[in-house]
């Protein structure tokens, strides 16, 4: 039981899951924002992943450097690029469509907390099992 990971993995998971929710609670209370912004931000993340993951899987087949033993720099560049070309249109479409009324920086914070928050929550859940 002296293994530091015995303590740090569950702690990391707890923080990754709890912090986005706490940020949402803070923003909702401090600025009187609706949770709809948070949920639509999370939905935009899911929408983006519906394209992002398949694109990355296809690219892995054609670019050996993206494989498990591939070049770290190549992975960083390609994965960042594919994230940008899928996540930006997803966020844009949600903000122009369902959230066309949301135009303040406060609303943008809540939307972003949902988008990044879901990603954090999913990572936290993956640490648990």
Instruction: State pLDDT tens for residues 23-75.
Output: 999 999 999 999 999 999 999 999 999 999 999 999 999 998 888 888 999 99
| Chain position carrying tokens 């988008």 | 115
- Containing domain of residue 23, as a range? 5-128
User: Considering its fold, how many domains does the chain have in total?
Assistant: 1
Question: Alpha carbon of 63 to those of 28, 57, 78, 89, 93: distances in Å?
Answer: 44, 10, 10, 24, 30
């Amino acid at each position: 039981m002296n293994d530091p990971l015995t303590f740090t993995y569950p702690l990391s998971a707890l923080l990754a899951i709890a912090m986005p929710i706490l940020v949402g609670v803070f923003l909702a209370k401090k600025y009187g924002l609706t949770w709809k912004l948070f949920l639509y931000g999370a939905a935009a993340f899911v929408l983006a992943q519906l394209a992002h993951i398949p694109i990355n899987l296809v690219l892995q087949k054609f670019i050996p450097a993206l494989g498990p033993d591939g070049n770290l720099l190549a992975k960083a560049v390609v994965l960042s690029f594919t994230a940008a070309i899928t996540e930006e249109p997803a966020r844009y479409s949600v903000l122009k469509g369902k959230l066309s009324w949301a135009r303040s920086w406060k609303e943008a914070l809540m939307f972003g907390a949902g988008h990044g928050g879901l990603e954090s929550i999913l990572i936290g859940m993956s640490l648990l099992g």
